[in-house]
Structure 1
């Protein structure tokens, strides 16, 4: 090679190398950076990808990554309470596909529902006391009445909705998890039907922080509702008409909403305990997974579930990977995407199924 050609080629190579090294990691296409540490237990083990959802915070900032759902196209819709972009839409590799905002200061609950003609999002904002239905592109289709406006609540009762679930007939169930602790049932047109639950530490059919609600169709002949009672470390099952059925006690786990996928139930644990101290602790999150028999089978980021004489022993955070796991989304490869609250503005993490 002639000296002039060699110098020219070398200069190009150095320039290209400098350009690549100056490109931020959230733009570069590269292989996932997976932790060598295996999280979880039994048949539910994962490798962690911390940087999966990272974006340029100047362009796409987040405050709290509250919840995530996946549509029929495999797109992941993530709700944050940053007014600049309430919704971030990712593909499964972590690439940002789109974003939009309704300028909600407290975007919290995100439910996806396929209504035949299209899929829709149901979004709650406890700060504004709002529940809205939108298209996947952010057009508002419906706003649900406050229970104060339809007579379901007295004027001195608080309404701070945290989650929704859609019944088989289109009825909408709204969890008032930061308010008066009821599950409110509306028909598909938005007419109020009933409320059930309420606020009590001692009464089993009532809640302390009815944070989440989900339709459970694992028994197709008997669909029911699963509701979070986060401060009680429990999920509670109800009929679609609001009759209490049973409680699943998860000692040590301040669970967020229940997420049903296949035969299993997944949930983010937003707070936890530490051994010898049974008070709720900040920065103690992990993920918990239950099988179809309501038995905990894995705790990614938490201690291995142990049963003694059929009773579940108290569970703790095992490693300081997560702070407050607010939601879990499961893709069609059974990988998990974990959204966190009050975790220093971090983007979602991905757990790759081993």
Structure 2
């Protein structure tokens, strides 16, 4: 990380705050601004809340957007499975109750149709990678039985992503830290990685994405407990560290040359192509609320995060952020 650039940023950044002049008691309904410069956002009050005060969660998963329809898919640990929202926050439908427990998701177009890949950590059928259509129909499953005897064991599944050629990567971030590569039909190709803090190792390989910003596609991995994000090539060879000194990065989403990082310790950070932070969003000054899923819903402040776990950009640069929380909350940050 570049300390000089970071110090330059700090005076310009501020915690999210309600607009001045808001009527007392109405703060929860007021827009909340966060970020700075080109990365200024407004948190949309009550986005995604369910009727009659029903819980969204528990939430311990991801967020993806269908590029064809713009619908937002939010995975949950609840019996309703995956919540599907319109961009204005209205619930469109729920799908795939058997996929409750998707810890991470990836979305792509295949054969002119949108498909979603999920890493199922818990739920009715834990520890499997699923490919589903946008109605929740299972199209492919990779499980302990189909993966075979993998190095480090098939446990602690946290992440999944898919290369441009259809190869599938999944990570055992709560297990032995190995990353497994499969072909598009679910046949295992190779295993790489492993636990540690050296080159080619991770300590909680929590989230992954395909990074196409540097020519040949790379695998971008959130190395959460080493507080860094790292690159491998798609053959599993170590490239290097992309960003460090982060607050336990969980998930990334890439837009153009920039990358949004959901940090479990109560912040979303925007990084440029060099890994330098250019904005901090929703930074929580109350460290007692960092990285816990036990903050009561009525104590979650609009535009302030407690434990960002899943997030995604849309095509316009808006962000949808899922807090790890027993009740569940998704925040829409509208780009200004």
Alignment of 1:165-176 (within 5 A): 165-176=161-172
2:164 equivalent to 1:184:
no
1:107 match: 102
2:324 equivalent to 1:341:
yes
Listed as ranges, the gaps of 5+ residues in structure 1 are 1-31, 272-284, 304-316
State how far apart, in whole Å, the 2-side matches of 1:104 and 1:228 are: 23
Tell me if the contact between 2:151 and 2:178 (Cα under 8 Å) persists in the aligned partners.
no
Determine which structure has more spread, i.e. the larger CA radius of gyration: 1
State how far apart, in whole Å, the 2-side matches of 1:115 and 1:196 are: 26
State how far apart, in whole Å, the 2-side matches of 1:103 and 1:58 are: 24
Tell me if the contact between 1:82 and 1:104 (Cα under 8 Å) persists in the aligned partners.
no
Normalised TM-score (structure 2): 0.80
State how far apart, in whole Å, the 2-side matches of 1:286 and 1:106 are: 23
Secondary structure of the 1:266 match is: strand
Alignment of 1:319-334 (within 5 A): 321-334=304-317
1:160 match: 156
What is the aligned counterpart of 1:91 among 86, 92, 98? 86
State how far apart, in whole Å, the 2-side matches of 1:182 and 1:148 are: 17
State how far apart, in whole Å, the 1-side matches of 2:185 and 2:30 are: 46
Tell me the CA shift for residue 34 of structure 1. 4.2
1:259 match: 253
The CA deviation string for residues 181-205 of structure 1, in whole angstroms up to 9 with x for no partner, is 011100001110011110113x221
Secondary structure of the 2:74 match is: strand
What is the aligned counterpart of 2:279 among 298, 305, 321? 298
2:231 equivalent to 1:237:
yes
Tell me the CA shift for residue 64 of structure 1. 0.8
2:77 equivalent to 1:81:
yes
State how far apart, in whole Å, the 2-side matches of 1:87 and 1:60 are: 13
Tell me the CA shift for residue 73 of structure 1. 1.2
State how far apart, in whole Å, the 1-side matches of 2:146 and 2:183 are: 17
2:205 equivalent to 1:210:
yes
2:137 match: 139
Tell me if the contact between 1:145 and 1:190 (Cα under 8 Å) persists in the aligned partners.
no
2:193 match: 197
Tell me the CA shift for residue 65 of structure 1. 5.3
**Structure-2 change in CA distance of 1:298 and 1:147 (3 Å):** farther
The CA deviation string for residues 96-128 of structure 1, in whole angstroms up to 9 with x for no partner, is 111123334522111111113311111111231
2:21 match: none
1:21 match: none
The CA RMSD measured in Å over matched residues stands at 2.3
State how far apart, in whole Å, the 1-side matches of 2:54 and 2:42 are: 29
State how far apart, in whole Å, the 2-side matches of 1:333 and 1:167 are: 23
Alignment of 1:18-33 (within 5 A): 33=29
Secondary structure of the 1:212 match is: strand
The CA deviation string for residues 16-45 of structure 1, in whole angstroms up to 9 with x for no partner, is xxxxxxxxxxxxxxxx9442x421123201
State how far apart, in whole Å, the 2-side matches of 1:145 and 1:106 are: 15
**Structure-2 change in CA distance of 1:262 and 1:116 (3 Å):** farther
2:18 match: none
Q: How many residues of Structure 1 are paired with residues of Structure 2 in the alignment?
A: 290
State how far apart, in whole Å, the 1-side matches of 2:63 and 2:330 are: 9
2:263 equivalent to 1:269:
yes
State how far apart, in whole Å, the 2-side matches of 1:296 and 1:92 are: 27
